[in-house]
Amino acid sequence: MNPIPLTQSLPSVSRIIAGCMGLGGGWNHDPVTPEHIAQAHNFVDVALENGMTLFDHADIYARGKAEHVFGQVLAERPAIREHLFLQSKCGIRMEGAERGRNVPKRYDFSKQWILHSVENSLSRLKTDYLDLLLLHRPDSLMEPEEIAEAFDQLKKAGKVRHFGVSNMSGHQIKYLQSFVDQPIVVNQIEMSLTRLDWLNDGVSFNHNQGHSVSFVPGTVEYCRSHNIQLQAWGCLSQGMFSGRDISDKDETTQATAHQVAEMAQEMDVSREAIILAWLMRHPAAIQPVVGTTNPQRIRACSGAEQITLSREQWYQLYVTARGERLP
């Protein structure tokens, strides 16, 4: 396989990313237990054994508890830090009570919040630096000059090595990059057999099927032509095509699951391997961010690196998952 764009910044980074949103015991205010920490140890071990060296976090996952339990792993086994890459995100602030007032969920790319959030992530993760920091979701009130200052300060202090964004269109990245000196090297967006608008955007151009595509056209092309690594969140479609009960789902979902199972059997690999290999066959050299914390499923995902789907297999799955013929 060709090297992925991110290897220009992190030469030995893995193709598949271990998503950490499922660590820490959930999005509640319950305290972390020894079981949650044991789960994180096991998760890190299984991911590393299966070649996944990049771990995807966000300051908000499980309200900070995902980073916290991961930090406990690093505190107990500091020697593993140099064998892995840590990516976290900032910019989403949860609703709740602050200083006696109820505040809504909001986005915040202010310099003050970015710096504050990174300090908290470093402290929870028990590390001196993040390999990558991503802005989580576009803030309508962002002042790009402030982001530029925050990034420069974090880079100069050695607290963040590389920068990226998430859920941004090509236009938004271009605009942001025109103010920011630090290169934007990652865009993490939702891409999967259930989330297809990043492909439909291209094939439905100049056709009335295109009316229903909400994806901002040209985002994939912008990232590719600027060597920005595309990362796919939600890539397993929450297990919809790899064993979750889908008896209440529509015909297209059932047909896609059936086809994934058939291909897996033909190629003698797991269904997860087929689902991820489908994303990885795209020439943008996508990095799937897998969200499973189940050791067996993590192993099943790693099988994707051993196979390459043919053009025919790729289109067969795409068309089935689209639920309509190509134009």
Ligand X SMILES: NC(=O)c1ccc[n+]([C@@H]2O[C@H](COP(=O)([O-])OP(=O)(O)OC[C@H]3O[C@@H](n4cnc5c(N)ncnc54)[C@H](OP(=O)(O)O)[C@@H]3O)[C@@H](O)[C@H]2O)c1
Binding site for ligand X (CB under 6 A): 19-22, 56, 166-167, 188, 233-239, 242-244, 289-294, 297
The least distance separating ligand X from the CB of residue 18, rounded to whole angstroms, comes to 8
The least distance separating ligand X from the CB of residue 107, rounded to whole angstroms, comes to 12
Q: Is 175 noted as a catalytic residue in this protein?
A: no
CB distance 306 to 34 below 8 Å: no
The least distance separating ligand X from the CB of residue 241, rounded to whole angstroms, comes to 9
Q: How far apart are CA 327 and CA 318, in angstroms?
A: 13
Please identify, using beta-carbon distances, which residue of 50 and 292 lies nearer to ligand X.
292
- Give the type of residue at 209: Q
Three-state SS for 122? Answer: helix
Please identify, using beta-carbon distances, which residue of 57 and 159 lies nearer to ligand X.
57
The least distance separating ligand X from the CB of residue 7, rounded to whole angstroms, comes to 20
The least distance separating ligand X from the CB of residue 66, rounded to whole angstroms, comes to 8
One-letter-per-residue 3-state SS of 241-303: CCCCCCCCCCHHHHHHHHHHHHHHHHHCCCHHHHHHHHHHCCCCCCEEEECCCCHHHHHHHHH
Please identify, using beta-carbon distances, which residue of 59 and 204 lies nearer to ligand X.
59
Phi, psi of 93 (to 5 degrees): -115, 130
Angle of CA points 14, 16, 22, to nearest 5°: 120
Q: Collect all residues with Cβ–Cβ distance below 8 Å to 277 and sequence separation of at least 6.
A: 269, 304, 307, 308, 309
The least distance separating ligand X from the CB of residue 207, rounded to whole angstroms, comes to 29
Catalytic residue among 61, 129, 175, 318: 61
Angle of CA points 134, 301, 34, to nearest 5°: 70
Please identify, using beta-carbon distances, which residue of 58 and 74 lies nearer to ligand X.
58
The least distance separating ligand X from the CB of residue 60, rounded to whole angstroms, comes to 10
Going from the C-alpha of 115 to that of each of 20, 86, 107, 148, 152, the distances in angstroms are: 22, 17, 14, 12, 11
β-bridge pairing 287-290 and 184-190? unpaired
Please identify, using beta-carbon distances, which residue of 204 and 233 lies nearer to ligand X.
233
Neighbours of 91 (CB within 10 A): 27
Q: What is the DSSP string of 13-52?
A: --SSEEE-TT-TT-SSSPPP-HHHHHHHHHHHHHHHHTT-
Nearest-CA neighbor of 184 among 230, 117, 122? 230
Please identify, using beta-carbon distances, which residue of 30 and 145 lies nearer to ligand X.
30
Nearest-CA neighbor of 157 among 122, 109, 113? 122
Please identify, using beta-carbon distances, which residue of 185 and 204 lies nearer to ligand X.
185
- Sign, CA dihedral 62-136-82-123, equals negative
Q: Which residues participate in catalysis according to the annotation? A: 61
